[in-house]
């Protein structure tokens, strides 16, 4: 039982809320029952330690049993200790320290993907996590997050994915031109999602292998990125809304692709 909120172990876990500490240690934190459950189910080898309060252990016996069976080291702690470790104001009693799940673009391309999502200069953690969750739900083969984007392994992004970060490969750290060049060399069409697009959903071939390229929440995709993509596609607006936010637009595009590819077999 861990009872001291000021212990070195507690401080080291709390420090993982900082990007510099995550980069130095190669570790990140997954908080809450949904994220921890998916980590235990899909990536138990990536979990270094699981911390849980007595109340949460009683409520989530399935998670504790699965973690123990997978050989995960489980520490019981007081609510005060968990709160000191957590990045949230109201922690839910479970927290896992995990190894960053690194994947290379070459590895993803070697699997001959048919549907990819590229996030170019996306900065908002909640948006990034929600988009990644949508990509998982639509059956995307991987998500590629550019070097200038938010850190996928930050606590808020991980929480926003609701466990999807453990379901599909995520590539990080590459500049956008290198990403687009790699996709082009692999024969994957690149579709820039932008309101100024000459083509409009669904009047575009989505049955071929392709990657949607999504831009920053505030200013969208830079002109040079749009020019470097094969096509620029806009989501139609039939009502009076000025635009869709990033997460909504990404979900619409991804599901259009998923439906087209499944219809094509």
9-52 pLDDT per residue, tens: 999 999 999 999 999 999 999 999 999 999 999 999 999 999 99
- Residue 105 banded pLDDT, cuts 50, 70, 90: very high
Domains of the chain: 8-99 (3.30.1330.30), 105-263 (3.40.1280.10)
Average pLDDT estimate for 193-208: 93
The position carrying tokens 């459950």 is 37
Q: What pTM was estimated for this model as a whole?
A: 0.95
Other Cβ atoms within 10 Å of 6 Cβ, number = 9
Which pLDDT score, from 0 to 100, does residue 260 have? 96
Which pLDDT score, from 0 to 100, does residue 183 have? 98
Is a pLDDT exceeding 90 seen at residue 196?
A: no
Which pLDDT score, from 0 to 100, does residue 249 have? 95
Is a pLDDT exceeding 80 seen at residue 206?
A: yes
Instruction: Say how far apart CA 53 and CA 80 lie, in whole Å.
Output: 9
Is a pLDDT exceeding 80 seen at residue 238?
A: yes
**3-state class (DSSP) for residue 169:** coil
Q: Are 195 and 243 in contact (CB under 8 A)?
A: yes
Which pLDDT score, from 0 to 100, does residue 94 have? 97
Of 261, 225, 1, 17, nearest in space to 116 by CA: 261
Is a pLDDT exceeding 90 seen at residue 162?
A: yes
Pair of tokens at residue 265: 């077999």
- Residue 217 banded pLDDT, cuts 50, 70, 90: confident
Burial of 24 (0-12, 13-18, 19+ CB in 10 A): exposed
Work out the percent of the chain whose per-residue pLDDT is above 90. Answer: 93
DSSP 76-133: EB-HHHHHHH-SSSS--SEEEEEE-----HHHHHHT--SEEEEE-S---HHHHHHHHH
Residue 76's beta-bridge partner residues?
Answer: 52
Is a pLDDT exceeding 80 seen at residue 265?
A: no
What mean pLDDT, rounded, does the chain reach?
96
């Amino acid at each position: 039982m861990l009872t001291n909120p000021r212990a070195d172990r507690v401080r080291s876990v709390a420090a993982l809320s900082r990007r510099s500490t995550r980069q130095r240690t190669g570790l990140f934190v997954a908080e809450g029952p949904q994220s921890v459950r998916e980590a235990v189910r899909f990536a138990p080898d990536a979990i270094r330690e699981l911390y849980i309060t007595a109340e949460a252990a009683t409520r989530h016996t399935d998670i504790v049993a699965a973690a123990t069976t997978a050989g995960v080291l489980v520490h019981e702690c007081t609510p005060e200790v968990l709160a000191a470790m957590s990045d949230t104001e109201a922690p839910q009693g479970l927290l896992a320290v995990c190894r960053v799940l690194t994947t290379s673009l070459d590895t993803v391309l070697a699997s001959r993907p048919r549907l990819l999502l590229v996030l170019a200069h996306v900065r908002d953690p909640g948006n990034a996590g929600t988009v990644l969750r949508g990509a998982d739900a639509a059956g995307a083969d991987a998500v590629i997050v550019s070097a200038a984007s938010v850190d996928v392994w930050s606590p808020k992004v991980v929480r926003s994915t609701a466990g999807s970060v453990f379901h599909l490969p995520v590539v990080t750290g590459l500049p956008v031109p290198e990403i687009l060049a790699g996709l082009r060399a692999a024969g994957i069409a690149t579709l820039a999602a932008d309101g100024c697009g000459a083509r409009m959903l669904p009047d575009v071939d989505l049955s071929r292998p392709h990657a949607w390229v999504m831009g920053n929440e505030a200013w969208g995709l830079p002109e040079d990125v749009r020019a470097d993509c094969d096509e620029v596609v806009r989501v139609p607006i039939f009502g009076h809304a000025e635009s869709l936010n990033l997460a909504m637009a990404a979900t619409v595009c991804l599901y259009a692709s998923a439906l087209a590819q499944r219809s094509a077999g």
